[in-house]
Structure 1
Amino acid sequence: MVKKLNVINEYKVSDIGSIPQDWKVIKLGEIFDFKNGLNKEKKYFGIGTPIVNYVDVFKKSSLTANDLKGRVKVSINELKAYEVRKDDVFFTRTSETVEEIGFSAVVVEELENTVFSGFILRARQRNSLLDTHFKKYCFSTEQVRKEIISKSTYTTRALTNGKILSQVLLPVPPIDEQRAISQSLNDIDSVIDSLEELIEKKRNIKQGAMHQLLEGKIRLPGFSEKWNELTIGDFSQVSAGGTPSTRKKEYWGGEIRWMNSGELNMKMIFDVEGRITEEGLKNSSTHVIPEKCVLIGLAGQGKTRGTIAINMVELCTNQSIAAIYPSNNHSSKYLYYNLDNRYKELRGLSTGDGGRGGLNLKIIKSLKIALPSLEEQIAIAKVLSDMDAEIQGLTQKLKKYQFIKQGMMNNLLTGKVRLVECQ
Structure 2
Amino acid sequence: MSKMTPQIRFQGFTDDWEERKLSSISERVTRKNKNNESTLPLTISAQDGLVDQNDFFNKQVASRDVTGYFLVKNGEFAYNKSYSNGYPWGAIKRLDKYDMGVLSTLYIVFRPTEINSQFLVSYYDTTRWYREVSKNAAEGARNHGLLNIAPTDFFNTLLVVPNTVDEQEKIGSFFKQLDDTIALHQRKLDLLKEQKKGFLQKMFPKNGAKVPELRFEGFTDDWEERKLGELSNIVGGGTPSTSNPEYWDGDIDWYAPAEIGEQSYVSKSKKTITELGLKKSSARILPVGTVLFTSRAGIGNTAILAKEATTNQGFQSIVPDQNKLDSYFIFSRTNELKRYGEVTGAGSTFVEVSGKQMSKMSIMVPELSEQQKIGSFFKQLDDTIALHQRKLNLLTEQKKGFLQKMFVS
Structure 1-normalised TM-score? 0.76
- Separation in 2, partners of 1:59, 1:175: 27
Question: 1:72 is matched with which residue?
Answer: 63
| Alignment gaps of 5+ in structure 2 | 31-37, 139-146, 206-211
Please say if residues 57 and 104 of structure 1, whose CA atoms lie closer than 8 Å, have aligned partners that are also in contact.
Answer: no
Deviation at 1:390, TM superposition (A): 2.0
Question: 1:291 is matched with which residue?
Answer: 288
CA 1:260–1:137: 2 relative to 1, 3 Å: same
CA 1:362–1:93: 2 relative to 1, 3 Å: farther
| Aligned mate of 2:50, from 51, 63, 86 | 63
1:226 aligns with 2:222: yes
Question: 2:93 is matched with which residue?
Answer: 105
- Separation in 2, partners of 1:176, 1:35: 26
1:400 aligns with 2:394: yes
- Separation in 2, partners of 1:284, 1:151: 57
- Separation in 2, partners of 1:51, 1:285: 57
Question: 2:141 is matched with which residue?
Answer: none
For 1:181, the aligned partner's letter is I
Q: How do 1:21-420 and structure 2 match up within 5 A?
A: 21-28=15-22, 49-53=39-43, 56-60=44-48, 62-63=49-50, 69-70=56-57, 71-74=62-65, 76-77=67-68, 79=69, 82-86=70-74, 87-91=76-80, 93-96=82-85, 101-108=89-96, 112-116=100-104, 121-125=107-111, 128-146=113-131, 161-162=149-150, 168-173=157-162, 174-215=164-205, 216-266=212-262, 267-300=264-297, 304-327=298-321, 328-340=323-335, 343-351=338-346, 357-414=351-408
CA 1:213–1:30: 2 relative to 1, 3 Å: same
CA 1:329–1:403: 2 relative to 1, 3 Å: same
User: What secondary structure, in the 3-state scheme, does the structure 1 residue paired with 2:316 have?
Assistant: strand
User: What secondary structure, in the 3-state scheme, does the structure 2 residue paired with 1:224 have?
Assistant: coil
- Separation in 1, partners of 2:269, 2:134: 32
Deviation at 1:206, TM superposition (A): 1.9
Structure 2-normalised TM-score? 0.78
For 1:295, the aligned partner's letter is L
Please say if residues 93 and 161 of structure 1, whose CA atoms lie closer than 8 Å, have aligned partners that are also in contact.
Answer: yes
Deviation at 1:285, TM superposition (A): 2.6
Deviation at 1:93, TM superposition (A): 4.3
| Structure with greater strand share of residues | 1
Please say if residues 41 and 52 of structure 2, whose CA atoms lie closer than 8 Å, have aligned partners that are also in contact.
Answer: no
- Separation in 2, partners of 1:166, 1:368: 63
Root mean square deviation of aligned Cα: 3.7
- Separation in 1, partners of 2:236, 2:307: 17
CA 1:339–1:186: 2 relative to 1, 3 Å: same
User: What secondary structure, in the 3-state scheme, does the structure 2 residue paired with 1:219 have?
Assistant: coil
- Separation in 1, partners of 2:232, 2:250: 30
Deviation at 1:175, TM superposition (A): 2.8
Give per-residue Cα distances to partners, 1:14-50, cap 9 Å, x unaligned: 59999963421235566568899xxxxxxxxxxx954
Please say if residues 308 and 336 of structure 1, whose CA atoms lie closer than 8 Å, have aligned partners that are also in contact.
Answer: yes
Please say if residues 286 and 316 of structure 1, whose CA atoms lie closer than 8 Å, have aligned partners that are also in contact.
Answer: yes
The answer to which structure, 1 or 2, has the higher relative contact order (CA under 8 A, 6+ apart) is 1
Please say if residues 34 and 124 of structure 1, whose CA atoms lie closer than 8 Å, have aligned partners that are also in contact.
Answer: yes
Between the two proteins, the alignment pairs up a number of residues equal to 375
- Separation in 2, partners of 1:310, 1:83: 53
User: What secondary structure, in the 3-state scheme, does the structure 2 residue paired with 1:13 have?
Assistant: coil
Please say if residues 203 and 215 of structure 2, whose CA atoms lie closer than 8 Å, have aligned partners that are also in contact.
Answer: yes
Identity, in percent, stands at 22
Please say if residues 89 and 123 of structure 1, whose CA atoms lie closer than 8 Å, have aligned partners that are also in contact.
Answer: yes
For 2:330, the aligned partner's letter is L
User: What secondary structure, in the 3-state scheme, does the structure 2 residue paired with 1:386 have?
Assistant: helix
- Separation in 2, partners of 1:248, 1:30: 66
CA 1:290–1:150: 2 relative to 1, 3 Å: farther
- Separation in 2, partners of 1:231, 1:358: 19
CA 1:238–1:110: 2 relative to 1, 3 Å: closer
CA 1:379–1:149: 2 relative to 1, 3 Å: farther
Question: 2:34 is matched with which residue?
Answer: none
